[in-house]
């Protein structure tokens, strides 16, 4: 019986959507070299393999800032995303070892994302305790 409950939480914890690009808020700055590489890869492939991760209701990007910005610069109006309950126990927040910040809470990520007060690149590291499969999404479907 406990397994069924866990499986139900997994199904409802995150949902795949094509989100309007204008709804989304970044909480970290970008690395120009990585952005160029991601743009080139998406342009050459003609699709996005991995959806970004977005906090439900507040539309703050948790993972995928470079994919988001690459799609924006390529003229896309929509972005493939997993929308997740950020404050659930399904999402863990840690910091990268190179982060300048010493303590960041989920509330801080949301607040700074909504206010446009960006952390330096690779400050936060979000991991999810459920499997989020790749979803190959054609660029044409995002225009």
Q: What is the pLDDT of residues 101-116, one digit of tens each?
A: 999 999 999 999 999 9
Third-level CATH fold of 2-142: 3.90.1530
Predicted confidence at residue 12, as pLDDT, reads 58
Beta strands 137-138 and 47-48, pairing class: antiparallel
pTM over 0.85: yes
Q: Are 112 and 54 in contact (CB under 8 A)?
A: no
| Beta carbons within 10 angstroms of residue 36's beta carbon | 13
| Whether residue 117 has pLDDT greater than 50 | yes
Strand partners, 81: 17, 52
Interhelix angle 32-45/65-73, rounded to 10 degrees, is 60
Does 28 qualify as catalytic in the annotation?
yes
| Whether residue 4 has pLDDT greater than 50 | no
Q: Which sequence spans correspond to the domains of the chain?
A: 2-142
Q: What is the mean pLDDT of the chain?
A: 92
Q: Are 58 and 86 in contact (CB under 8 A)?
A: yes
Tell me the average pLDDT across 50-62: 98
| Whether residue 3 has pLDDT greater than 50 | no
Predicted confidence at residue 13, as pLDDT, reads 81
Q: Which of 28, 36, 44, 111 is catalytic?
A: 28
Q: Are 114 and 57 in contact (CB under 8 A)?
A: no
The per-residue pLDDT for range 121-133, each reduced to its tens digit, is 999 999 999 999 9
State how far the Cα of 142 lies from the Cα of 18, in Å rounded to an integer.
Answer: 8
């Amino acid at each position: 019986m406990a397994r069924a409950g866990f499986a139900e939480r997994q199904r409802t914890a995150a949902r795949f959507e094509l989100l309007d690009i204008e709804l989304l808020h970044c909480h970290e700055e970008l690395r120009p070299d990585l952005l160029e590489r991601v743009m080139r890869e998406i342009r050459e492939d003609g699709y996005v393999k991995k959806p970004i991760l977005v906090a439900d209701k507040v539309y703050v990007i948790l993972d995928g800032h470079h994919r988001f910005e690459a799609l924006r610069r390529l003229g896309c109006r929509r972005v493939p995303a997993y929308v997740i309950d950020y404050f659930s126990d399904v999402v863990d927040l840690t910091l990268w070892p190179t982060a300048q910040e010493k303590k960041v809470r989920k509330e801080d990520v949301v607040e700074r994302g909504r206010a446009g007060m960006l952390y330096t690149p690779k400050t936060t590291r979000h991991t999810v305790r459920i499997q989020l499969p790749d979803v190959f999404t054609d660029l044409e479907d995002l225009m």
